[in-house]
Amino acid sequence: MSNRAWMPLHIADYLADTGHLTATEHGAYLLMIMHYWQNGRLPANERVIARIAKLSAEQWEDSRDILAMLFGPDWTHKRIDAELSKADEIIEKRRSAAEARYSKGKKGTQDANALHVQSKCSDTGALPTTSDLSSLRSDQFEEKKREREDFDDWFGSWPSQASDDDDDAFAAWGSLTPEDRAKARSHSAAYVEAARAGGRTTICSAAKYLRKHMWTRIKSKPPDPPPKQMVALSTASKFKTREEYLAAERARSERSFQR
């Protein structure tokens, strides 16, 4: 993952490649290549790519094929991959030059501490070799990649609007413990169902759901009350025979008439 705050943009080449795009497609393409530069790739889930591009489902359907023409298979980008390789080479050369400067001259405590701040020491206290540093960076990259893929897999199922900021949501995801991530994932469907059952037409952003631990607000459904037993009161049930019932009715009618 690139942590650079800048990205090379060759204006003439960009305009030559994108002259057929609409204003909306220009914005979407720029957001997509910025995400590519920061993360080294685009997600495999096209629903997530649409959110990165800030396109609604309808806009994505209209522009998807046009935007895909600017990428290779599986949304790869040959030009950005080449620029990332160049950037990594520059970083490696500068790091090697810095290590060479530190290795020359005085071997005093000040130099050792300065190099120690920039590198991770081994358990024995010896400074790591170039191979150690490369291996450490590779492990960190793979861990970050797995974390992002795990997030993208969950984020792709979140029913928020297309304007939901996936980078903001990923930052919230990164602040959770593994246990909270598991809870957020396993309870998300129940939270959405409860929110819709409560009459909500829109669901909160994924970032808000994660930061505020919204899954903890799900209330368990109370048990259904037992069905009410309908008690039918029948005047006829007071009498053993039909004759007794008819006699009582005649007597009641006579009393009513006499009044």
Pick the more confident residue, 201 or 210.
210
d(CA 223, CA 189): 20
Query: Is the pLDDT confidence value at 134 over 90?
Result: no
Q: With a cut of 80, say whether residue 206 has pLDDT above it.
A: yes
Sign of CA dihedral 12, 14, 15, 16: positive
Residue 207 vs residue 70, higher pLDDT: 70
Residue 87 pLDDT exceeds 90: no
CA gap 257, 259 in Å, rounded: 5
Tell me the average pLDDT across 213-222. 74
Q: What is the predicted pLDDT for the residue at 233?
A: 46
Does residue 103 have a pLDDT over 80? no
pTM for the complete prediction? 0.42
Instruction: Show the DSSP H helices in the chain as ranges.
Output: 11-18, 23-39, 46-52, 57-68, 78-103, 109-118, 130-155, 166-174, 178-197, 206-211, 242-258
Sorting pLDDT into bands at 50, 70 and 90, what band is 234? Answer: low
Higher pLDDT, 78 or 87: 78
pLDDT for 105: 55
Residue 232's pLDDT is what? 45
Cα–Cα distance, 133 to 116 (Å, whole number)? 12
Q: Is pLDDT of 58 > 80?
A: yes
Distance CA 154, CA 176 (A): 14
Percent of the chain at pLDDT exceeding 90: 27
The lowest-confidence range among 70-84, 169-183, 219-233 is: 219-233
pLDDT at 241 over 80: no
Q: Are 70 and 17 in contact (CB under 8 A)?
A: yes
Whether residue 1 contacts residue 18, with contact meaning beta carbons closer than 8 Å, is answered with no
CA end-to-end distance (rounded Å), the chain: 99
Q: Give the residue extent of every domain in the chain.
A: 157-220
Identity of residue 222:
P
Asked whether the predicted pLDDT for residue 242 surpasses 50, the reply is: yes
As a whole number of angstroms, the distance between CA 162 and CA 48 comes to 9
